[in-house]
Amino acid sequence: MRVLARDIVKAAGEQNGAEVEVKGWVHRIRDMGGVSFVILRDRSGIVQLVLAEKPDLSLESVIVARGIPALNDKAPGGAEIQVNSLECISRADGELPYQVNADIGKIGIEAILDNRSLSLRNPKIQAIFKVQATIIEAFSAYLRSQDFTEIRTSKLVGSGTEGGTNLFEVEYFDRKVYLAQSPQLYKQIMVASGLERVFEIASAYRAEKHDTPRHLNEYVSLDVEMGFIESEKDLIELEKNLLAHIFTETARKNARELAMWGASVPDAEAVFKAPTLGYEDALKTANAELAAGGKKQASARIFDITPEAERLLCEWAGREHGIELVFVNEFPRRYRPFYTYPLDATRTMSFDALFRGLEITSGSRRQHDYQSFLETLPKFGLKPEYMAGYLTVFKYGCPPHGGFAIGCERLTQKILGLANVKEASLFPRDRKRVEP
């Protein structure tokens, strides 16, 4: 019967002398003359195999070994297997283009991504996606517990939702359509349909030309939308609960993966202490931090929530509130999309969440009044006649509502302290990269 690497200590501890079978990849081979060690890797971790002779194996070959498990403090994980028989069931080419068992801290991101099918075999890289799986699972579980319904909406759309020109065109029979920048309008339609509370986990597409450590051209958007809210403050409250649940679950399920990255997640109680600053106060706070930081800061003065401001605000929140998480609300009208609900003549009921120096979320209460829309759209250069399908929703009765979206890769990046968001995407798409 197959035993996983993580269960060998237990099998050895039972000491009944029974043979076990392990299956996996050859991670490392060490020939000590007279005795050889093969480190086998499976989905659960690694285990040391001890052989009397040097095996005829290449790294990354897939093997099946049988033998007697034994406790050994010196072996990785505290146990090893004295091998009786070993079979190679898929031999790997002896010339690996990428060293799977290398210390990835010493390998640049380009080499990691250029050799993606092999770099994904590295346990530390795999750890990223185990944490990401927990984020997605915890996100869904929490929202389901609050009576949200999961939806799937089309990624082929007739027009953009988030403004700007960052749309990918797609040939669609005899016309051009676009890849969706977000499920924004669909999630609102579904609130108005009577579901009231919906969420979606899906890819979103942004044709952004710049290459930065925070941008992907395809990312996973964790979208939430709910009816009958008063303001963005209800949404900030929901996001705090959601993040607290995600962090708690990550700590519970991924202690090993977090340790591999030397990372930790904030305590749930700390999340509820995260401050909310109005946009103007956030600018003041960022500028005060800038002044206090002296010459090492990049800007002389901050006029917007720039990446530098995000970093300074999170440092401030960490020091003053014990968590590097801060919500900024009441953004000026000019910075937010057409669907955002006004607070007054210049400000909106909108917010961003900044975590460990990076914007991870945008959200807002939405316009839901048909007449207001007809007046607002031309101001954003949008033609009401092209948005008839969307506007119909507001014509026929729609509750006050709002929502937000968390960038899944950005949250993963910040939980683990990754330098580049591309590391948190299995198969990242950037200006150069559409393979594998």
Interacting residues toward ligand AMO by CB under 6 A: 162, 182, 184, 206, 208, 215-216, 219, 221, 359-364, 403-405, 407, 409-410, 421
Q: How far is the CB of 396 from ligand AMO (least distance, A)?
A: 22
Active-site hit among 215, 356, 365, 401: 215
Q: Which is nearer to ligand AMO, 368 or 410 (CB)?
A: 410
Q: Which is nearer to ligand AMO, 101 or 217 (CB)?
A: 217
Contact call for residues 329 and 232 (beta carbons, < 8 A): yes
- Of the CA atoms within 13 Å of residue 102, those in its CB half-sphere come to 16
Q: How far is the CB of 47 from ligand AMO (least distance, A)?
A: 37
Alpha helix (H) ranges present in 150-306? 184-190, 232-253, 255-260, 268-272, 279-293
Active-site hit among 197, 214, 336, 366: 214
Please state, as a whole number, how many other Cβ atoms lie within 10 Å of the Cβ of residue 156. Answer: 10
Active-site hit among 206, 356, 368, 429: 206
Q: How far is the CB of 295 from ligand AMO (least distance, A)?
A: 31
- Does 208 qualify as catalytic in the annotation? yes
- Does 410 qualify as catalytic in the annotation? yes
Q: What are phi and psi of 156, to 5 degrees?
A: -105, 120
Amino acid at 29: I
Q: Which is nearer to ligand AMO, 184 or 231 (CB)?
A: 184
Q: Which is nearer to ligand AMO, 142 or 219 (CB)?
A: 219
Q: Which is nearer to ligand AMO, 61 or 420 (CB)?
A: 420
- Does 359 qualify as catalytic in the annotation? yes
Please state, as a whole number, how many other Cβ atoms lie within 10 Å of the Cβ of residue 233. Answer: 15
Strand ordering across the sheet containing 325-329: 149-150, 197-205, 218-227, 401-407, 358-365, 350-355, 325-329, 276-278
Q: How far apart are CA 239 and CA 225, in angstroms?
A: 11
Alpha helix (H) ranges present in 304-406? 307-321, 370-376, 388-395
Active-site hit among 197, 366, 410, 429: 410
- Does 324 qualify as catalytic in the annotation? no
Q: How far is the CB of 274 from ligand AMO (least distance, A)?
A: 16
Q: How far is the CB of 110 from ligand AMO (least distance, A)?
A: 18
* Residue in the block written with tokens 């960490």: 318
Q: Which is nearer to ligand AMO, 289 or 409 (CB)?
A: 409
C-alpha torsion angle, residues 377, 378, 379, 380 (rounded to 10): 60
- Does 175 qualify as catalytic in the annotation? no
Give the nearest residue (CB) to ligand AMO: 407
Contact call for residues 386 and 158 (beta carbons, < 8 A): yes
Contact call for residues 252 and 320 (beta carbons, < 8 A): no
Q: Pairing between strand 276-278 and 325-329? A: parallel
- Does 366 qualify as catalytic in the annotation? no
- Does 362 qualify as catalytic in the annotation? yes
Q: How far is the CB of 216 from ligand AMO (least distance, A)?
A: 4
Active site residues: 206, 208, 214-215, 359, 362, 410
